[in-house]
Amino acid sequence: MSLAFATERRLLAEDELDPIRRSHFPLLEGLPRAEVHDLLHWLRARRNRARDLMRDHRRSKRGKGSAAQPLPDADRGLAAKKQVFAGALRRVNARLDALLAEERRAANLARLRQALGRRQAAVPHHPAGGATPDAGTRPLPNRKARPTIHGARIGSASQSVRTAQARRDARG
C-alpha cells in the first residue's frame, strides 16, 4: 500500500525527503540511469538501516539486545519509515527495469538491423543445375518386380463366372 506524500513528509527527516521526492513519478522519469542507480543504492541502504533498527529494538524488548531501555512506540515510527523507503525502492526498481528493458530493445534492434544489412549486402547464391540442366528430370525405372501370371490363368476368372451363369440359366 502506498502512502500519501504528506504522510511521507511527516515521517522523514529533511535530508531524507529530497531522495524520496525524486523517487516519485514526474521526477523519476527524467532521471538518467546513473542517478536512478545511485538513488536505488541510497534507498536500499536506508531501508536496511530501518529494518536493522527495528530488529534491534525488538531484541532489546525481549532483553537480548543492548542494555539500553527500549522506547515504547519506536517500532511503529520505524515501520512506517521503512514502508516509505520500501515504496520508493519499488518505484525506483520498476523505473530501472524499464530503463534496462529499453536499452535491451535498442541493442536487439541494432543487432537485427546489422543482420539485415549483412543479408542484403551478401551476393545471392545460385547453384548450378546439375548433370542435366536443360533436359529436366530423368524418369527413373520402376524397380519393383512385376507379378508374372501364367498364360492359362489369364481370363480364367471371367470365364468361370460365365460358366456358372450358364449353368444357372440351364436349370431354370
pLDDT in tens, 61-107: 888 876 566 666 667 888 999 999 999 999 999 999 999 999 999 99
* E strand map for the chain: none
pLDDT value of residue 67 = 58
List Cβ neighbours of 27 (8 Å cut-off, separation of 6 or more): 21
* Percent of the chain surpassing pLDDT 90: 52
Q: What's the CA gap between 51 and 34, in Å, rounded?
A: 26
Mean of pLDDT values over 17-40: 95
What the block records as the C-alpha cell of 115 is 543482420
pLDDT in tens, 114-146: 999 999 999 888 876 666 566 677 888 889 988
Alpha-carbon distances of 129 from 118, 125, 132, rounded to whole Å: 27, 12, 7
pLDDT value of residue 56 = 87
Q: What's the CA gap between 50 and 13, in Å, rounded?
A: 13
Residues in the chain: 172
- Cα dihedral angle (19, 24, 30, 32), rounded to 10 degrees? 50
- Contact criterion met (CB below 8 Å) for 129 and 65: no
What the block records as the C-alpha cell of 91 is 518505484
- What's the chain's average pLDDT? 88
* Percent of the chain surpassing pLDDT 70: 89
pTM score, whole prediction: 0.64
